[in-house]
Amino acid sequence: MIPVAGFEGQEVGVLGLGRSGRATAAALAAGGARPVVWDDGAPGRDAAEAAGLTLRDLTAPGGMTGLAALIVSPGIPHLYPAPHPAIAAALEAGVPVDNDIGLFFRSFGSDAFARHDTVPRVIAVTGSNGKSTTSALIHHILTEAGRPAQLAGNIGRGVLDLDPPRDGEVIVLELSSYQTELARALTPDVAVFTNLSPDHLDRHGGPGGYFAAKRRLFAEGGPDRAVIGVDEVEGRFLANQLTEGSGDPRVIRVSVEQGLKDAAWSVFARKGHLAEWRKGRQQASIDLRPIKGLPGAHNHQNACCAYAALRALNLGPRDIEAGLASYPGLPHRSQLIAERGGVAFVNDSKATNVDAAEMALRAFPRIRWICGGLMKEGGLGALEPHLGSVAKAYVIGREAEAFARALPGVEAEICTTMDVAVIRAMAEAEPGDTVLLAPAAASFDQYDNFERRGEDFVACVERGLAAGR
């Protein structure tokens, strides 16, 4: 646990009692604060009361009285489409609103964690797509190289639930836009921006607000090094804002669409080969094509981002290459489930938006595509140029018919359920095909989350293979 510094003897409100909220309350208490907690759901309140936490209805009149701060869980709206009533009350009362990420950076930089021969470092990763894989990949490579490391944030553990850092340890944080937008302290040593595509626009008031939330990771704390994906205009703009000129090495530019040989420091992948260039000279190269845990250009971008972040901490290219080669992949993200009779089965349930699905469709030559769910704003039109690899679509979800109609020129079968879709795809797959779950939609019409959807796909594949289909 990371005890929260700066609130000794003071009451601090905690709104939302999921994983991060519970960890926040415990870390505040460990630092000498007096947390008072609230959750809109009765089960969360009951669990908090059973754990001995002090409940207070933070939405009631006077709920903000005496609070030094209000700490908010990431799923709770604080600005758009409208602030949660407790947050609105805090804004009215002048109570500072923060989240666990802000508390982490506030506490991590305190004297108690600076007394090391080799000071611990923090790598923070944000972006629309690939941030989970990039974060996990960085952590995996560090571990394989014998470097102490912990992984937290939007993946794995809550940040305040981390162990106090050891000498020379690297903390790897995956940060969502919800987390970066609200945190009052953001001071990573290395910050990574993978890419940007439309997502969560209702929570940020449009694409400008969404980009601004991501940009705060770089603008608020001023990382020593910034790793920026520059294949979208927002990344190019951000890289430009962070540099003092073409020779400034504080920004490492990353691309999978262009060679960046003229940049002061760059890492890019072309035709499956990663290359690092500095000041016009190539420093290292890695063939990414044989790495089964990193298929496709989108994963090559993740590899480039991870490579660049680790080079910023002076890890050697050969150590990074060894870690890349042994990376097993994350569940639900281009995860190879099985291979049978020349047919591969890949679980990319995390492809919940069109841009992520596009990357998955570009990664394999011939696809039996399981897709569908709750379509997001903007529809599926952006996928049309990338449907040439789709031999057939097997559409699931309550909106399966409408989803299938939005796929012009693609043979589509209305399956509705995962079980039917997998059975049909397995029956029709030929050697060289990939049966790919990449829904391009949210899961909430049939599943609690994308993880449950991916787990159902894996179970259906395993049953089908066991039955000899």
* Binding-site positions for ATP: 127-133
Angle of helix 354-361 relative to helix 296-312, nearest 10 degrees, comes to 100
Whole-Å CA distances, 42 to 37, 38, 46, 49: 12, 10, 6, 10
Which is it for the CA torsion 17, 21, 26, 31, positive or negative? negative
Residues that constitute the known binding site? 127-133
- Give φ, ψ of 137 to 5 degrees: -65, -45
Beta-carbon contacts of 50 under 8 Å, excluding residues fewer than 6 positions away, are: none
Beta-carbon contacts of 422 under 8 Å, excluding residues fewer than 6 positions away, are: 370, 394, 435, 457, 460, 461, 464
Gyration radius of the chain's alpha carbons: 23
Contact 207, 377 (CB under 8 A): no
Give me the residue label for tokens 């797959």.
Answer: 429
Give me the residue label for tokens 């003897």.
Answer: 9
The CA distance from 328 to 336, in Å, is 9
In what order do the strands lie in the sheet containing 54-55?
54-55, 34-38, 11-15, 67-72, 97-98
